[in-house]
A = this chain, B = another copy of it.
Amino acid sequence: MAIITLTTDFGDRDHFVGAIKGVIYSEIENAIVIDISHKVSPFNIAEAAYILKNAYKSFPEGSIHIIGVDSELTPENRHIAVTIDGRHFIGADNGIISFLAEEIKPEKMVEINIHDRIESVFPVLDVFVKVAAHITRGGTLEVIGKPLDRLKSMTGLKPTANTRETQISGNVIYIDNYGNVITNISRNFFNKYRKGRAFEVQARNHRFTAIYDKYSDAINFNIEKSKRDDDGKKLAIFNSSGLLEIAIYKSNLETVGGASSLLGLSYRDTINVNFL
């Protein structure tokens, strides 16, 4: 069994994803192809990095992760294969894979150099599938690429603390299917600066004095259901990725809206935490 995932900005209407799967099933025995997402916004590296970082750890060691976002080969956009935490990643050196490697040092990093050996109408992905096939046959990365010392890093937004350490500031990095707003402030970063103090999360003119561990912790189940007015309640939680998230309880984008629209929070907006 060879588990291969796809994370792309190809969408789900065109022939691209189907064609790639056809090649994988033609060339790789016992392949299982799993879509992580094909709905990354076109060329959006930050979004692809966020999605893949939150998905890949669920896959077993040895799994192969192909990334088809901003992956056309150019002098400024090399193709790379990198092993991190026992999993293999194949894509362009555009910041996505280096984002995954922020916390865990890669075991191997190579620049793929087999392009001249491949006849193809869809070279970017054909190259990646060839590399995946090589790995599933037990091949080493050195055979299909030359070792790299470093990856291009994503010029991403990072949370900061002021000098007196009374405030930390982060940004909205993702808005999910429910309209919930995810920031780059991790539980670890928050705890490092909190030092036991009370705090206030500030997102535009909205304030939160508690950060929950799950959505329903914001609800008081001792009050009878018919007497509560929970749906639509705004709250802050550390989500399943360990990141500070501003959410609306049981939000529905199609009817009442989600945190993003209701609270006026967009991609890259600043979120502050003030320690009191």
Query: Least Cβ distance of A107 to chain B in Å?
Result: 19
Does the CB pair B215–A72 fall under 8 Å? yes
Indicate whether A156 reaches chain B with its CB closer than 8 angstroms: no
Indicate whether A157 reaches chain B with its CB closer than 8 angstroms: no
| Number of chain A residues close to chain B: CB under 8 A | 72
Whether A251 contacts B42 in the complex (CB less than 8 A), given A14-B51, A219-B74, A225-B76, comes out as: yes
Query: Least Cβ distance of A11 to chain B in Å?
Result: 3
A242: chain B residues within 8 A (beta carbon): 121
Q: Which of B19, B34, B35, B214 contacts A58 (CB 8 A)?
A: B19
Q: Which of B26, B75, B252, B254 contacts A60 (CB 8 A)?
A: B26
Query: Least Cβ distance of A72 to chain B in Å?
Result: 5
Does the CB pair A252–B56 fall under 8 Å? no
Return the chain B residue nearest A219 by Cβ: B74
Does the CB pair B34–A22 fall under 8 Å? yes
Whether A177 contacts B15 in the complex (CB less than 8 A), given A58-B26, A225-B76, comes out as: no
Chain A residues proximal to chain B, CB less than 8 Å: 3, 5, 7, 9-23, 25-26, 32-44, 50-60, 63, 70, 72-77, 121-123, 176-178, 214-216, 219, 221, 225, 240-242, 250-254
Q: What are the nearest 9 A-B pairs in CB distance?
A: A22-B58, A11-B177, A18-B36, A13-B39, A22-B59, A15-B54, A18-B55, A15-B55, A19-B58
